[in-house]
Structure formats: C-alpha cells, structure tokens
Amino acid sequence: MNKQETIVKMFDEIAQSYDLANRVLSFGIDVSWRKKACSLSFEHLGKKSVRILDVACGTGDMILHWQKNAKEQGIGIEKVIGIDPSSGMLKVAKEKLPEIEFIQAEAKALPLEEESVDIISIAYGIRNVIERDKALAEFHRVLKPGGILAILEFTKSENNSILDSLASFYTKKILPSIGGIISKNYAAYKYLPDSIEEFLTKSMLNRELEAIGLEPLYSRSYSANISTLFIAKKR
C-alpha cells in the first residue's frame, strides 16, 4: 500500500466520527472559515449562476456551505459535484446529501471535461494529496477561464510568533488526544500535525498556484494562524 492509499484508508476509518471531531477540534470556528471561502469566491467570480466542484469533499460539509451561501446571496447553483477518494467519507456524504452527485476519484485525475466548472473548492484536502502538482494542473484544466479556486488549509508557519507557538502546541499536543478519543483512532489525528509540518507555507502555495496559471487574489490566515484561506482565479 502506497502513501496515498494509506491516507485514504485512514479517512475511511474515521468517516463516521469526522464531522463531530471537526466541530469539537475547531470549536466550531471552521464554519466561519468555510462561509468566508464561499462568499469571497462568489464575489470574485461575479456570476449569478454557477457550477461548483468540491474536491476532497469528505462528508459533504463544504457543499452544505455552498448551498446555504448561494441561497443567501441569490446565486443559482446549476450543478454541484463532490469528489473524494474515500468510500467511507462518500457513504456519509450521500446519506447527508442524497440529491448531490458524488464521485469516487482522486484530485490528480478528475473525471470532468475541460473548462466545465466555475468554482473549485478543496477544504483541508490539498495537504493530503501526494501528487499535488498533478492535482493543481487538473484544477486548472477543469476551471473555466476566469473561474475561481478556493483552498482552505492548515499551512506551515513562516515565522515563530507567539500565535504560531500556541497553534503548534494545540495541534501537536491537544488535538491528537481529543481527536483520538472522539474517533478512537489516535494515529489519524497524530497524522494531522505531522502533515502540517511537511506541508507548504502560505507564500510557497501561492507560488505554486501562479506557476500553473492561477492568479492569487486573496490569502489570509485565521484564528492564531491555524487555518489559511486562498482564493485564486484562472487567467
């Protein structure tokens, strides 16, 4: 089993407790981060009718936010598709959102036509994609010209401020214990801080986006620099 398969298997194992763990571990603040991602994406896209693809959709949480935000802003969703490699996560997503089309696939090989969606979102998933360069190239391929990519992710700190130290202490010492108790899978939540340390800084990810033809429009870290929101547009 390769590293990507191991990560997918881990998400299969924690799928049933994933939503509860997210709410508890983020103190519910992740809801505001997701809402911000939706509202800024709609603002920068500037269209009243959209097609949305949520990659690494997990249990469908982000899709619920797209639907709610679109309704609040008077934006019509022509179609929304959720894609994830984890069958366990998709099983939960389909139970929550039976009307949505979900596809089991990897980010590096999206089963969609070129220039077929207006918005792509990936919330806390790009860090888990081993072949990130292929995934970003796929995002560029399926986005329409002027389309928006919204990424929410835990990024590696670029400095050692007090806030960064606090965030690091929480993710390394507290999060694995609480996540392990909720999910009964300590290893899965020990993986999270380890994967953050191995991931990119905010500026590094922006450079990768620029390199494939996506123009960074917005990048900001929230809540003691724990979570970063990226908004980029296809040139």
Residue 138 CB burial class (10 angstroms; 0-12, 13-18, ≥19): buried
pTM above 0.85, yes or no: yes
pLDDT along the chain (235 residues), means of 10: 92 90 78 95 98 97 97 98 98 97 98 98 95 98 98 82 74 81 86 82 95 97 83 97
pLDDT at 28: 77
Look at residue 230 in the predicted model and tell me its pLDDT: 98
Taking Cα atoms as reference points, which of 197, 61, 198 lies closest to residue 121? 61
Chain mean position to CA 52: 13
Angle at 130 between CA 142 and CA 174, to 5 degrees: 115
pLDDT at position 61: 95
